[in-house]
Every structure is written in structure tokens, then in C-alpha cells.
Structure 1
Amino acid sequence: MRGTREKAEVAKQSLLRAIKGDLGSLAPEWERAFVAAPRHRFLPSLIWLDVKDRWVPCVREKEPGRWLEAAYANSPVVTQVNDGRPPGADGVWPSSSASAPSIVFRMLEMLDIHDGMRLLEIGTGSGWNAGLLAARLGGDRVTSVEVDRALAERARDVLAENGHGPLVVFADGAEGYSGRAPYDRIVSTCSVRRVPYAWVEQSRPGTVVLTPWDNPWFCYGLLRLVVAEDGTASGRFAPHSAFMLMRGQRSDIRLFRDLVRDEHRPDESFTGLSPWKVTTSDRSARFGVGLWLGDVWHAWDEDPEENGAEARLWLATTDASSGSWAAVDWDGKQKDRFRVRQYGPRRLWDETEAAYQRWRAAGDPGPERFGLTVTRDGQVPWIDRPPTGIGRATLV
């Protein structure tokens, strides 16, 4: 037992040094929270490790050394797969995780928390983040909402066992939690494509709302909003990390099940814009294009069953009812001429080209130049500064 405690202490100190190295420094109050809420105490016995692009189980009682190494690595740890169901025909896919410690503490410091504040966390997960927040503010100041009943119950028990007493609520985080509103800070541990307006409604003026960002085109970035007196919230993106999407915002659209039909007769044209420039080039291009496109996703087919096509980029929307799709083909030879087919009321490749040209015209901006304004009616992206007036036509 003593050997195990010593190994855990060495691992904790190593992780703390890694966090400070990544962030440059760590505020004393967060270092104290790190000590008060050790990460390994919040992880379940069964975790899942990425081994050669396969998720394999690791059980603490069977592989204590390997489990402890994962617990104190500066990396995310998958704590649940398949929404808690046994893996089946759809394989093994992560559905909950403990985020990488460096990004956890980066987000905590971005919140700019002060004594006496009331905080709402969206996505309890393992409970570690809630434990850190409770260690900093006191459990009576922290409310954490979890959409998965099993995760909520486990986190509530683990937090109590470790002397932390935040309120853990089993509910849909998109609705926030009005029972303790208004809040001074709201932080989400899952990414969103649309910022729930309930978070703004349950905030005081001046409240910071911090959430990872997801886009069907490119999942990347953190969004830090500040709530205004007029019931809107505006803020900028930061170029950090990718998180699992909020469950209520997931989509299950499949090209040949939901969109593309044999009887479709798409319009054909050619483009000089390489599809790789908007999908596999630098992160800034993908982020900007995706933010402007809003609800458009893409998928590569590296072996299309069609003569004359060596690779194909498919585009579609997250709403199958739109009936719109596009395909861009590379013939394996040309570098500046690609065949385009587009079907439906929206011309998705035309929209993609326009978004890319807009990004170039703005000077190839990175995520930190982009921002978002959230209102009761929707949200609008912008570059450099919020718009002075937001009409319904500009909201996405």
C-alpha cells in the first residue's frame, strides 16, 4: 500500500510539473485545488486506452501500474464508451472522458474565478473538474449538471467520498439549472455547436460563459463569452483542444441512407480550389470555413467506385431534410481542376468556396480573431469585433 501511495505521489508531482510547463505557470489557488482533488481518485476502475487506434480496456485491479500511469498522464482518459452500453456491432467509441489536465487548468484560469462566486458546470463526467471547482470555491457554490444518470450518480458518490460537496444534478445541461441561478460563471466540459440560450438567461450581467466549440466541419477551439445587460453574450475563440459533443446536439446523418439517391440529377461544374485546402490544410482555414458554413459536414472517400475518380470529397448538411449534398472529385492527375456535382436547394460547394475566399480576404485569420454573439434568436459569428446590429437574417 505504501509503495502504491508513493508511486501516486511521484506521478502527481510529475503531472503538476507538466501542467506548469504547458501553461507557463499555475495560480497558487489552482495548485492547492490540484492537491486537494487528486485526479486518480475520480477515475473509475475501468478506463479505455488508445492502443494502435483501438480502444482497449484497462482495469485498475488487473493492471495497477498501467492504470496509474494513464491517470497521471497529461492526456485525456476515456472513462465511458458507447454511452455506457456494452460494445456491439457499432464498435467501441468514447462517450465520456476526463480531459487532459493542461486544458482543464487552462480553462479554469480562463474563467477568472473569485471568492464568493456561484458557478454552474455543464457535464460532470468523472467529477474531477467539479472537485477542483469545489476545492476552490466551496461545494455550496458549485452546481454540476450531468445528462447520463449513471455518471451523475457515480460522480456524486465519489465527490462525497473525497470531501467535496457540490450539487450534482441529473438533467440535460442544455437547460442549465435554474434552481441556483443566477450564476457568476458557467463552464461546459462538452463542446457545443449552438450555445444554449438558457445559459445566458441564468447568468448575471458580466458572467463569463466558457465552452469548448464544435463544428460539423472541424471540432476545435474554446469560446469565452461575457453576458451583457441586454441579454446577449459575446466573446472570442481561443485555439485550444477538442471535446466530445453535447449529446443533445449530436446528429446521425448518413449519405446513402439519408441523402444521396440514384434518381438524383446533380448540376455539374468544375472548380480550381483544391478540396484539400479546406479540409486538411492548416487549422485556421478549417476553423474559419467551418464557422461560416455552420451546419455543413464533409467526408472523404479515398476509393470511389466510379471511373475517373481517384478520391472524392462529400459535403452535406446536418439536417437531412434540406436534401442538399455535393461531391468534389479528383482524377488523380489534375492539380487545379476538380469536378463538382451539387444537388438540392443549397449549393454546398459554392458556399464552401465563398467561405474560403472570405477567410483569405480577411488575411487568413486564426481562431483568436473570430468571435460569436449569442441572442435569444440565435448566434452570429464575426471577425475582430462584434457587429453593431444583429438581424435575424444573419443568425445561424
Structure 2
Amino acid sequence: MTDPQEGHAALVRSLDERGLLTPEWRAVWERTPRQAYLPEQVWRQDPDRCRPVTTAEERGALVSSDKPVVTQVDDGAADGPGVATSSNSMPSMVARMLGLLDVRDGQQVLEIGTATGHVAGLLSARLGDDRVTSVEIDASLAAHAERYLSAAGYRPRLVVADGEHGCPAGAPYDRIIATCALRHVPYALVQQLRPGGVLVAPRMGDFWCGALVRLTADEATADEDGTASGSFAGSAAYMPMRSHRGTTGVTPDTSSPRSRSTEVLPQETLTLGFALYAGARLPDVTLIEGRTEGSQGTDPRVWVHDSRGSGAIADADGTVTEFGECSLWGDVEAVWREWDELDRPTDADMGLTVTKTSERVWVRRPTGVMYPVE
């Protein structure tokens, strides 16, 4: 059986050795074990659904690993399909986000998505609980988090509300961190940042993969509303904010398949840089990664579809099968050529600007190539 203290020490040591912790944050992590913020029942995320963890040995190994621990399925409903709806996040991702947040002594921080309260506990240990506000839409999760935080000696401001609106009562904030994925950055959060304040959030997209973004708020002028702008900072996979959950979409019409060849192979589309670029250029298109059995093992395959009923399947041998009225893979090919002509920008070359009326993805500089996100 994994000893909880030894497991936690090993996890923190691993985060430190990977360069994810400053000395200040290492000290905070050492005295803020995730085990103290977990309910009795937790789940492991399997490919098809969440599976309850039933033994102390399995629980100990999971808690001390660099993996998310699912703490709620199906929004708490009984006999659901087993879809994860809340978790204690992957420790390395939390450490990355807190590093990007770059908190300083005396700053006020707002967290969107309290969940178990672990991140609020880390922030309270670092800054003092009077400097931390956390918003959670699920009252039962918020109540559990309050108990865990109180047991650890912390009483940050906990608010039951939709994180889409932030927490105006505590504004302005020096830092805002979202521990749930956002389809767009709510302008209310930008409004609640001080000029020069930083927002770190996972921004989800339908085109393959989501990414962390780090935005800095500018200072509003008398005749203009404030904006926030900054770069993407690597991939991120988080459960979406409840008000930002997607829809099931339209099932493509497969009655008249059309086959052709392509020079844009599916593996060429599975980079974060292209996913961010294509997600902005093709906001109505969803791309999903898959695998097929090939002569050399498993080969990449991607599915794309849009809300109008068009779709396509692209295989590693260059074969494309399209459905519906539109040549959807043709749209992907055109955008891929644009991206290629821009010297294939990576996620580090790209960023986001949020205004009161729009959200724009840019390449290499905020005044460079920009596309509105619908």
C-alpha cells in the first residue's frame, strides 16, 4: 500500500525536479496534500467512462500520481452514464497554471471553479486566505470544499455562483485563474482585473485540442473599454465550465460518401499550433483524433464534421471519405496551406485578445494576422 505521506512527498519532488515549482511554491505544495481535499468516493477516468475506485491500494496509487482524480460524475446524479463532471486536477497542470499566474505577496486572487478546494488551499497557503476568492456553481461541491478548507485551517471567500460572471463583489483582482475550461473568456472576468492584472485559463476548442492562455489586462481609457491580451502556453484538457459545455452537434449525412486522395495527412493536423489556427479559421468545425489498425500498428485517423451535416474521415494513407453537401476536408486543406505559408506557427507563436465585443486569435503579435472567433 502506498503511504500517503511518502506518496505526496514523491509527487512534490517530481514536480520540483521537472522545474514546475519555485521554492515558495514547493513549500506550499509540501504542506497542502491533495489527499486532504478528496471525498471518500473517487473515480478513475477510463476511456469509455469513469470507474469507481474501490480499494485503498488503488486510491493511494492514484492520489500520489500525476493524474486527475475524478470526484463527481454526472453532476452528482445517480445511475448516469459515468461522465466526469468535477475532479482534483492533474498536479503538473495545476503547478503549470500557478507558475503562469505569477502571484506576488499581497495580491488578491479570484479562482473560477472551486471543485474540491485544493487550488484555493494552495493559494491560501501562499497568500493568506483573506486574499483568495473562489467561485463554484455546484452548491454541494462548494459545501464539501468549505469543509476541507476549514479542516486545513483556511477560510477563503467561497461563493456559489456561475463563474461566467466572476465575483464583482471582490473586484478588482490582481490575478484570476480558471480551473475549468472556457469556450471563450467571459468579458466580465476582464472587467474584474486590475490594469496589468493576469488571467490564466484553459481555453477549449472543438478542433482537436485546448490550450492554456495567459492574458494581461490593459488600462481602459475614458472612451474605450479595457481589453486583455496574451499568448497561448501549451495544451490543456479540463472539464468545461457548465455554461460552456458543448452540444452533441449534427450527425453527418453518410448516405452518399465520396472518396478522394489528399496531401494533407491526418497526422499533419494534430499539432497544437494548427489546432489553434484552424479552430479560429473554422469555428464551426469539430476535429476528433482516432486510430485504425495498419500494417505498422495503429495509424492516425481524424474525423471532422460541422453543424450543417457535412463530415469527412481522413486516413494515414491519404484517403479521404467525405459526406454531406460541403467538401469539409477541402476547407481543412485550404486552412492548412495558410498555416503552412505562415511558417507553421506553434502555440507559442499565437495568442488571444479579448475585448468587450470580440475575441481574436493572432499570430506572432497582437497586431499581426488576426481572426475573430465566432
Residues 253 and 310, structure 2, Cα contact 8 Å, conserved in 1: no
- Indicate yes or no: 2:31 matched with 1:36: yes
Q: Which moved more, 1:247-256 or 1:224-233?
A: 247-256
- Aligned match of 2:353: 373
1:354 to 325, 328, 334: 334
Distance 1:175 1:261, change over 3 A: farther
1:253 to 248, 253, 274: 248
Q: Which moved more, 1:160-169 or 1:25-34?
A: 25-34
Q: Which moved more, 1:218-227 or 1:171-180?
A: 218-227
Per the normalisation by structure 1, the TM-score is 0.82
Distance 2:310 2:200 in 1: 34
1:326 to 310, 315, 319: 310
Distance 2:33 2:49 in 1: 28
Distance 1:293 1:7, change over 3 A: same
SS of aligned partner of 2:14? helix
Distance 1:383 1:132, change over 3 A: same
Residues 195 and 374, structure 1, Cα contact 8 Å, conserved in 2: yes
Cα deviation 1:113-161 (Å, max 9, x = unaligned): 1111011000001100000001111111100001111111111121112
* AA in 2 matched with 1:14: A
1:75 to 40, 44, 67: 67
- Aligned match of 2:87: 97
SS of aligned partner of 1:73? coil
Distance 2:67 2:49 in 1: 16
Per the normalisation by structure 2, the TM-score is 0.87
> Cα distance, 1:261 vs. partner?
9.5
SS of aligned partner of 1:253? coil
Distance 2:123 2:169 in 1: 19
Identity of aligned residues (%): 35
1:343 to 301, 325, 346: 325
Residues 147 and 173, structure 1, Cα contact 8 Å, conserved in 2: yes
Cα deviation 1:36-65 (Å, max 9, x = unaligned): 322100011111014575522125xxx223
* AA in 2 matched with 1:368: A
Distance 1:260 1:339 in 2: 12
Distance 1:111 1:124 in 2: 16
SS of aligned partner of 1:46? coil
- Indicate yes or no: 2:226 matched with 1:225: no
Distance 1:145 1:197 in 2: 16
> Cα distance, 1:12 vs. partner?
1.6
Distance 1:381 1:283 in 2: 14
Q: Any runs of at least 4 consecutive aligned residues in structure 1 with deviations exceeding 6 A, and if so which?
A: 300-303
- Aligned match of 2:148: 158
Cα deviation 1:253-293 (Å, max 9, x = unaligned): 2434xx7598xx99x795634462465x3443334322432
Distance 2:109 2:361 in 1: 26
Where does structure 1 lack aligned partners over 5 or more consecutive residues? 304-310, 318-323
Distance 1:64 1:339 in 2: 48
Residues 199 and 214, structure 2, Cα contact 8 Å, conserved in 1: yes
Cα deviation 1:314-342 (Å, max 9, x = unaligned): 4113xxxxxx2323356x8x945645445
- Indicate yes or no: 2:188 matched with 1:208: no
Q: Which moved more, 1:369-378 or 1:63-72?
A: 63-72
Distance 1:51 1:188, change over 3 A: closer
- Indicate yes or no: 2:228 matched with 1:239: no
1:284 to 267, 273, 277: 273
- Aligned match of 2:51: 56
Please say which structure displays the higher CA radius of gyration.
1
Residues 18 and 74, structure 1, Cα contact 8 Å, conserved in 2: no
Distance 1:371 1:198 in 2: 20
> Cα distance, 1:32 vs. partner?
2.2
Where does structure 2 lack aligned partners over 5 or more consecutive residues? 221-225, 293-300
Q: Which moved more, 1:239-248 or 1:202-211?
A: 239-248
* AA in 1 matched with 2:235: H
Distance 1:229 1:74 in 2: 38
Distance 1:36 1:339, change over 3 A: closer
Please report the RMSD computed on the Cα atoms of aligned residues, expressed in angstroms: 2.9
SS of aligned partner of 1:195? coil
- Indicate yes or no: 2:213 matched with 1:193: no
Residues 43 and 71, structure 1, Cα contact 8 Å, conserved in 2: no
Aligned residues: 361
* AA in 2 matched with 1:326: S
> Cα distance, 1:302 vs. partner?
9.1
Distance 1:296 1:328, change over 3 A: closer
- Aligned match of 1:308: none
SS of aligned partner of 2:246? coil
Distance 1:274 1:366 in 2: 18
- Aligned match of 2:14: 18
Residues 352 and 360, structure 2, Cα contact 8 Å, conserved in 1: yes
Residues 253 and 324, structure 2, Cα contact 8 Å, conserved in 1: no
- Aligned match of 2:298: none
Distance 1:112 1:244 in 2: 23
Distance 1:137 1:118, change over 3 A: same
Distance 1:329 1:13, change over 3 A: closer
> Cα distance, 1:75 vs. partner?
1.4
> Cα distance, 1:363 vs. partner?
1.4
- Aligned match of 1:306: none
